[in-house]
Each structure stands twice: as structure tokens, then as C-alpha cells.
Amino acid sequence: MATELKSADAPIFLVGATGTGKSAAAMELARACTNGAAILAMDAMQVYRGADIGTSKPTAAERAEVPHGGLDLAEFGASAPAVGSNVRFDVAHYLRHAAAFLREQREAGRRVIVVGGTGLYFRALTRGLCEAPQGSEELRRELGALSVAELRERLRKIDPAMLERLDASNPRRLARAIEVKEATGRSLREWQEETPAPLVREFTAVWIQRGKAELSQRIEGRVEAMFSQGWVEEVRGLVERYGVEAVRAFPGIGYREIGELSGSGRSPTLEEEVKRSIVAATRQYAKRQLTWFAREPNLQAVMLTGNQVLRTAVLTDLL
């Protein structure tokens, strides 16, 4: 895999945990590109239309200033096919969009900055997408009804080696491994080893980090800001449009909790409990992201503090 910047138009990846300031860094880099730049979001929740505040999508002003891709690619209900008739949006859909976006920006002469914390998207872009087929809808619904503990035990029985290779706290990853093994008789590991060439072969990848205490504080402030920006109202609108079951099934952190909150009235005490729950869940997610990227080879780690942005840290080296 190529990880050094080989040409002037090779993409720059900014990866890391939620709350580290990746999006702000991406905008700084984009503004510093004298020949123009575009940003490709690499976030599995930002692909859904209507889920804006809770996924920290770029603002309308930022999108107007710098072309963005990877946003609003699927209906909100497409995250849960058991609820609606939409086909689930997956990494293959994302890669098709990314290929078109990268081609368009290259033709326009813009440098592409890929920013986000979805490790699976990063791996698929830079290492290639595993082409293991999907199981039946019936099997997927069955697995979707199981707890994480039940999924772990089921995978342990049929493919214990795969259980050691993935994030065993992520129900979607567990279900996918079970689905592939039961549908094809082959381990997901075998399919992954036959993965075709990646979409992006030449790139620079920067892993943005923060100190543990600072990241924790930033996550708390981020959740508080989302509520101030109207996150509860956003979720209420999604409930009205797609139904409460679609909101409950949405994998984005906080949407299910706020959906329950909006249905029970807006009690200040209850709202504070929901905020604390979301902060805790976000911190746990950030830990999983850190674990994922720690396994990725040849990332250029950059530690930021306070209001420092990437521009002051490594901009010269990148551009």
C-alpha cells in the first residue's frame, strides 16, 4: 500500500476519533490549497439526509466555500431496511460515490481532502473493498434482533478466528461476519484476502489526536452544542417523516435516545440524563475509533491541543 504523497494531486486523509477537530482542520487545509480543494466526508452517518446536527455535518456556509462530497447520499430510512423499503446504504455505495467524486475533482484540478472517523471506509478506500456477498434479508433481520453478546457467541461457534480480528463490540461488524460465513460457508477473512485493488493508491494519511482529558471535554461540549443547535427538534422532524421505528433503528449515536425523549415531553431533568448518556456513548465510540486507527499502518500522528489547528502543526509538510 502506498502511504507517501507521490504526486501533487494525491488525496490527503485526515482521520481520527470524533471530537478531535478533523473537520476544522480539513477546512484550514482546503483554504490553504492555492489551486483549489474539495473535501470528501468519510463518515458513515453523514451519508443520511436529515441527520445533520447529530452527525456534525459541515455547515451550509462551509459547503458553499469548499465543494463537499460524501454527504446526503441516502434517505434516513435506508439505515434500517427492516423498517422501510429502502435498500441499506453500505460501504460499496460509498465507494461508488467516492470514485465519481474523486474523478470529478481531479478533472477540475482540485486537491481532495478526505476527512472522517469511519475506519471501514478508510480501509476500503485505501486497501480495497471485500466483495463477500450479502446474506438473505431474513438472515439479516434475524441477526439484527440479537444482542451483542448473542452475536459474539454465534460467531464464536462458527468462525472463532474471525471474532479475534474484528471489533467485537460492534454489532454490525459481528452480524456481517456471521452473515458471510453462514451464507457462503467461507470466513469473511478468506473473502478479505481476495480483495481487489484499492480505489486510492497514492495518498498521505494524518491521524489527528488529542489528549484523553481534552478529548473527553471536547466531546461533552460538542454534545451540549448539538442540543443548543436544535438536535431535539431535528429528531422530532425525523420521527414525523420516517416514523419512530426508523429513528430507533438509526445507528447514529443519540438519535434513539432523543427519539424517546421527544416522545415523552421535554423535561429538563430527563434531557440532562439523555445528554449524559450520549456523552458516555460518544466517549466509548471514540475509544473504538482510536483502537481501529492504532492498527492502521504508516499513519502520520499529529497531537493537537486547545485551539491549535492542523495548519500550524503540519500544513507545510502536507502542501
Assign 3-class secondary structure to the chain.
CCCCCCCCCCCEEEECCCCCCHHHHHHHHHHHCCCCEEEEECCCCCCECCCCHHHCCCCHHHHHHCCEECCCCECHHHHCCCCCCCCCCCHHHHHHHHHHHHHHHHHCCCEEEEEECCHHHHHHHHHCCCCCCCCCHHHHHHHHCCCHHHHHHHHHHHCHHHHCCCCCCCHHHHHHHHHHHHHHCCCHHHHHHCCCCCCCCCCEEEEEECCHHHHHHHHHHHHHHHHHCCHHHHHHHHHHHHCHHHHHHCCCCCHHHHHHHHHCCCCHHHHHHHHHHHHHHHHHHHHHHHHHHHCCCCCEEEECCCCCCHHHHHHHHHC
Expressed as residue numbers, the domain containing 59 is 12-129+196-318
87 and 231 housed in the same domain:
yes
160 and 74 housed in the same domain:
no
- The domain total for the chain is 2
84 and 111 housed in the same domain:
yes
In a domain, 1, yes or no: no
49 and 173 housed in the same domain:
no
201 and 57 housed in the same domain:
yes
In a domain, 179, yes or no: yes
In a domain, 3, yes or no: no
What pTM was computed for the model?
A: 0.79
290 and 218 housed in the same domain:
yes
312 and 270 housed in the same domain:
yes
Q: What is the pLDDT along the chain (319 residues), one digit of tens a residue?
A: 333 334 457 899 999 999 999 999 999 889 988 889 999 999 999 999 999 999 999 999 999 999 999 999 999 976 654 434 445 788 889 999 999 999 999 999 999 999 999 999 999 999 887 777 777 888 888 998 899 999 999 999 999 999 888 888 888 889 989 999 998 898 988 887 777 788 998 999 999 999 999 999 999 999 999 999 999 999 999 999 999 889 988 999 999 999 887 655 567 788 899 999 999 999 999 999 999 999 898 899 988 888 776 655 555 566 6
In a domain, 28, yes or no: yes
223 and 89 housed in the same domain:
yes
64 and 150 housed in the same domain:
no
22 and 110 housed in the same domain:
yes
212 and 282 housed in the same domain:
yes
In a domain, 2, yes or no: no
208 and 263 housed in the same domain:
yes
| CATH code (residue 145) | 1.10.20.140
In a domain, 204, yes or no: yes
pLDDT tens across 241-252, in order? 999 889 988 999
